[in-house]
A = this chain, B = another copy of it.
Amino acid sequence: MRILVVNVNTTESITEAIGKQAATAAAPGTEIVPLTPPFGAESVEGNYESYLAAIAVMEAVRAYPDPFDAIVQAGYGEHGREGLQELFDVPVVDITEAAASTAQFVGRRYSVVTSLDRTVPLIEDRLHAAGLSARCASVRASGMPVLELERDPQAAVDAIAEQAARAVEDDRAEAICLGCGGMAGLAERVIQRTGVPVIDGVTSAVTIAESLVRLGLTTSKVRTYAPPRPKAMTNWPPPIS
* A→B interface (CB under 8 Å): 10, 25, 27, 38-43, 45-52, 54-55, 58, 79-80, 82-83, 85-87, 91-93, 97, 101-102, 104-108, 117-118, 120-122, 125, 128-135, 168, 172, 174-175, 194-197, 199-200, 203-204, 207-208, 210-212, 214-215, 217-226, 228-229, 231-236, 238-241
Contact = CB atoms under 8 A, between A and B. Distances in A.
B38 A235 contact: yes
B121 A108 contact: yes
A102 B238 contact: no
Given A46-B228, A107-B220, A168-B222, A129 B118 contact: no
A105 B82 contact: no
Nearest to A108: B224
A101 B211 CA distance: 12
A215 B207 contact: yes
A121 B226 CA distance: 12
B105 A104 contact: no
Contacts of A10: 232-235
A197 B217 contact: yes
A106 B101 CA distance: 13
A201 B43 CA distance: 35
